[in-house]
Chains A and B, each alone.
Chain A
C-alpha cells in the first residue's frame, strides 16, 4: 500500500513538474500613436485589436498603450489583461477589453509629441513581467519620433525573444517628396530593434494581419 502511495506521489510530481503554464503563452503589447497627424488612423488600430482578440487564446496577455509625449509610463496603458485559462471567462474578458478600447478611441485626443522609444521600453517592462513565452510589440505608428525637450531616449533596447512589428507605417508629406527619409526612418528602427536582439517586421497591408504570428 505504501509502495502504491509512493508511486502515485511520484507520478503526480512528474505530471505537475511537466505542467508549464507560461512558457507557451503569447504576450502582445500594442502601441498606438496618438500624435496629431496619426490620431485619425485609430479606427484601423481598433480593427487590428479586434483581430488580436479573436486570435489570442486563454492564458495569453494583451495590452494597449498610447504613444504621446512621454510614453514610458503606466498611465499611458489604456487596457491590459492576461486572459483566464477558461475559454468562457476569457471570452467575457475579451468583450470587456473591446469596450475599453472602443471608449478610448472615441475619447482620444492628439498629443504634440511622439515618444515611440518610451513606449517600447514600457512594453518590454510589461511583457517581461508577464513572462509570456512569445513576445510581440506592435507599433501602430508612422515611426516618426518627436521627443519633447528634455526627454532622453538614447539607451539601447533589450529585446531578446521579442518580435517588434510596425503596422500601418504611413508615408508623411516629406516622405513623398524624398522617399529616402521614409526608407531611412524604417531602416533606423529595424537597426535599433535588431541591435537589441529582437526580430523586426512591418505590415502595411492590414488585410495580411495573419502574418503577425507567422514568425
Chain B
C-alpha cells in the first residue's frame, strides 16, 4: 500500500520512480561522508581488535615456545646426567672389581719375581773345575819315556788317570748345565703367569680408557645442552618426537596384550564374583578382571621403579638400597602370585568354555564328538596367563618415555596451534578492513551519477577539486595503518610483554 502511494506522487508511475531515485541518490550523496567514516571506523575496530588479539596470542606462543625449550633442555640435561652417571657407575664398578684384586696380584707378582730371581741366581752357578794338580799330571804325562818299561807303565797309568779325570770333569759339567737348564725351564710357568696378570691388568685399563672416552663424548653432549645451543635444542626436539612415536607404538602393542589378558580372565571372574551383578553400567566380573590387570601394571611399574629402570616415582628411586631391595622382593612376589592367579583363571576359562560348548551342542541336538579333548589349548592359555603379567610389567619403560616425550610434543603442538590461531586472527582483521573498503566502494558505485555530476560541476567551475575523503585513497593514513606487517605487530607486542 505504501509502495503504491509512493508511485502516485505524480500521474506517471515512471516519473514517480525517477523522482524517488533522484531523491534517494541525493540523500545517499549527502550521507556519503558520514557513512564512509562509520564503515571505515568499524572496519578499523575489527582490524585493530584482531591485530591486538593476534599479538597477544603470538606473545603467548613465544612464552610457550620458550618454556618448551626450557623443558626440552632440562629433560636433555637430566637424560645426559643420567647416562653420564650410569657410565661413572660402570667405571666405578670396573675399577672396584679390578683394584679389589690388585693387592693379591701385586703379592703374586712379587713372589714370582723373587722366585725368578732366586732361580736366576741358581742358574748362574759356575761349572765345577778340574782339580789343581791336573796340570802337573798333564805335564808329567807329556814327558817322553826312553824305553824303560817301568816309566812307560807309570806314564800310561798317569795318562789313563788323566783321561778318566777329563771324562769325569766333562760329565760334571754336563750335569751342572742340565740342572741349570732345569731351573730355567721351571721359570717358564712363572713368566707365563706374570704375563697373564699383566695382560689382565692391561685389559682392565683399556676397558676403563674406553669407558672414559664414552664419558667424554657424553660430557661433550652435556656441555652442548648446557650451553643451550639451537642445534642441541633441535636434536632434543627431534629425539622427543621419535621417542613419542616409538613409545606410542609400544603402548598400543601393550594395550593389545592387556585386552587379550582381559579376555582370558573376564569369563572365569564371573565364576568368582557372579555374572549378573553390575557396577554402574559395567559387569562386576569385567571390572574385577580389569582391576587385576591394572594391579599387575601397577606392580610392574613399582618393580621397574625399584630397579631404577624408570623414574616415574622419585620417592621410590630415592629410597635407601635396603628398602628398595625389599620393595623389589615384595612387588616381584605379588606379580608372581597374580601371574599364578591368572594362570589358574585361564585354566578355569578353558573349562567353562568347554562346558558352554558342550551345552550348546546338547541344545542344538548335535553329537558331542566334535569337542576337542587336547590339553594343548589349556596349557597354552595357562602359559599365556602366566607370562602376560610379567610382559605387561615392562610397559613402565615405554610409559615413562611416552609421558616425558608427550610434554615436549604437546608443547610443540600447542605452540603451532597458537601460531595458526594468530595467523587466522590477523587474516580476519585484514579481511574485516578490506570488507569495509569494499562496502565503501560499492556505496560509491551505487551513487556514481551524483559523484559524476559533482565532478562535472566542479570541473566546469575550473576549481581544483580537493579529495573529500582522503581516507579512501591508497595512501591514506587508514590504509597505511592497515597494511602493516609482522614487524609492527611485534612492536605492539613488545610493550605487552
Contacts and interface: CB of A to CB of B under 8 A. Distances in A.
Interface string A117-149: 000000000000000000000000000000000
Interface string B435-470: 000000000000000000000000000000000000
Contact of A87 (B271, B284, B364, B365): B271
Nearest to A22: B276
B275 A19 contact: no
Contacts of B356: 87, 91
A165 B400 CA distance: 56
B208 to A, nearest CB: 52
B363 A19 contact: no
A23 B276 CA distance: 10
A161 interface: no
A54 interface: yes
Q: How large is the interface on B (under 10, 10 to 19, 20 to 34, 35 or more residues)?
A: 20 to 34
A91 B275 contact: no
A19 B362 contact: no
A26 to B, nearest CB: 10
Contacts of A60: 276
B362 A24 contact: no
A88 B355 contact: yes
Contacts of A88: 271, 351-352, 355
A91 B276 contact: no
B267 interface: yes
A57 B277 contact: no
Contacts of A1: none
Interface string B265-294: 001001100111111100010000000000
Nearest to A90: B275
A86 B359 CA distance: 15
B273 to A, nearest CB: 8
B355 A58 contact: no
A98 B275 contact: no
Interface string B346-389: 00000110011001101111000000000000000000000000
Contacts of B275: 57-59, 85-87, 90
Contacts of A94: 359, 363
A53 B359 CA distance: 9
A54 B278 contact: no
A207 interface: no
24 contacts: A15-B279, A18-B280, A19-B277, A19-B278, A19-B284, A20-B277, A21-B276, A21-B277, A21-B278, A23-B278, A25-B276, A54-B359, A57-B276, A59-B277, A85-B270, A85-B275, A85-B276, A86-B271, A87-B271, A87-B356, A88-B352, A91-B355, A94-B363, A98-B363
7 tightest CB-CB pairs across the interface, nearest first?
A59-B276, A85-B274, A58-B275, A50-B363, A20-B278, A85-B276, A21-B277
Given A18-B278, A23-B278, A59-B275, 6 more contacts: A19-B278, A58-B276, A87-B270, A87-B352, A87-B356, A94-B359
